[in-house]
């Protein structure tokens, strides 16, 4: 019993020493930035608020949350402890995969007229943002970027917002269309539909995106075998509607 008692006293003493001694308080923070455009090292240090904390009981989850809440362009933070007083932060930024451009408010286009919708004009754009693979809007765009543009009609977009699952499907479509070798520099999201323009292809932004992509892949392969040029593919229905360019057989 005495051994247990003295052991308990020893544990309590050591715990108090660890908690109160300056020996284990964080005195130095080193920051390595990887593709972070919205903050510098000092700003990251201030947001992390680690100085003076006990390195053993460092709350890295809270520090990461503070950094990501303050700087939306930050995707992840890795904490590396160097005992007894130093912490290294590796801060990685979000990588843009597309431009999200907001069009001026207009009347919604009936789905029956989607076939006739023209390529969006740059003059109609209200604001443009960078979007990453997770669907997070993380930066306003101030200069020309060599990325595909997704034009949005009748949708609210702001910094830090994460696109809804149905709208995030547009990123999945973009990735696949790039593999298919199609022109994805300008695309449009309107009334829960996703449209590309060369050739014009209309998708539904629902849970069946994978099925629609598989159908399009088969259509493209068939057109290549038959040596015909596609003009229009409508994937909104169970049986896709397909049109070929004039002078080509159907």
**pLDDT tens digits, one per residue of 120-179:** 765 578 888 999 999 999 998 877 778 999 998 877 788 898 888 778 899 999 999 999
Q: In what order do the strands lie in the sheet with 149-152?
A: 137-140, 125-132, 96-103, 149-152, 183-190, 193-198, 200-204, 230-234, 241-244
**Res 4: pLDDT:** 64
Mean pLDDT computed over 80-98? 93
**Res 200: pLDDT:** 93
Structure tokens at 133: 């693979």
Q: Are 213 and 204 in contact (CB under 8 A)?
A: no
In degrees to the nearest 10, what's the CA dihedral of 83, 84, 85, 89?
A: 10
Distance separating alpha carbons of residues 1 and 67, to the nearest angstrom: 49
Confidence of residue 217 (pLDDT cuts 50, 70, 90): very high
Q: For the full predicted model, state whether its pTM sits above 0.75.
A: yes
Confidence of residue 250 (pLDDT cuts 50, 70, 90): very low
CA 142 to each of CA 21, 49, 59, 95, 147: distance values in angstroms, whole numbers, following the listed order? 49, 31, 36, 16, 13
Write down the number of H helices and E strands in the chain. Answer: 5, 12
In degrees to the nearest 10, what's the CA dihedral of 151, 152, 158, 164?
A: -120
Spell out the residues 6+ positions from residue 175 whose beta carbon is closer than 8 angstroms to its own. Answer: 97
Position 107 pLDDT exceeds 60: no
% of the chain at pLDDT higher than 90? 54
Mean of per-residue pLDDT scores for the chain: 85
Q: Summarize pLDDT for 4-59 with one digit per residue, the tens.
A: 655 566 555 555 555 556 668 889 999 999 999 899 999 999 999 999 888 888 89
| Residue pointed to by tokens 């200069």 | 143
CA-based nearest residue to 134, from 94, 173, 102: 94
End-to-end CA distance of the chain: 92
Mean pLDDT computed over 181-206? 90
Distance separating alpha carbons of residues 200 and 187, to the nearest angstrom: 10
Spell out the residues 6+ positions from residue 113 whose beta carbon is closer than 8 angstroms to its own. Answer: none
Confidence of residue 83 (pLDDT cuts 50, 70, 90): confident
Residue 167 DSSP label: H
CA-based nearest residue to 236, from 206, 199, 198: 206
């Amino acid at each position: 019993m005495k051994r247990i008692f003295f052991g308990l006293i020893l544990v309590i003493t050591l715990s108090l020493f660890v908690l109160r001694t300056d020996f284990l308080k964080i005195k130095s923070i080193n920051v390595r930035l990887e593709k972070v455009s919205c903050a510098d090292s000092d700003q990251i240090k201030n947001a992390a608020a680690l100085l003076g904390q006990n390195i053993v009981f460092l709350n890295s989850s809270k520090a990461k949350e503070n950094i990501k809440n303050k700087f939306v362009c930050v995707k992840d933070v890795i904490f590396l402890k160097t005992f007894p007083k130093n912490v290294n932060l590796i801060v990685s930024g979000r990588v843009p995969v597309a431009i999200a451009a907001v069009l001026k408010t207009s009347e919604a286009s009936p789905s029956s007229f989607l076939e006739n919708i023209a390529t969006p004009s740059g003059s109609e754009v209200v604001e443009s943002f960078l979007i990453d693979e997770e669907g997070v809007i993380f930066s306003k765009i101030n200069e020309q970027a060599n990325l595909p543009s997704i034009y949005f009609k009748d949708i609210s977009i702001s910094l830090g917002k994460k696109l809804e699952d149905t709208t995030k499907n547009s990123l999945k479509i973009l990735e696949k269309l790039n593999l298919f070798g199609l022109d994805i520099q300008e695309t449009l999201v309107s009334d829960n539909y996703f449209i590309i323009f060369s050739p014009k292809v209309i998708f539904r932004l629902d849970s069946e995106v994978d099925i629609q992509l598989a159908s399009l892949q088969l259509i493209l392969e068939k057109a290549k075998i038959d040596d015909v040029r596609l003009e229009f593919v409508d994937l909104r229905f169970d049986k896709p509607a397909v049109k070929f360019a004039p002078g080509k057989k159907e």
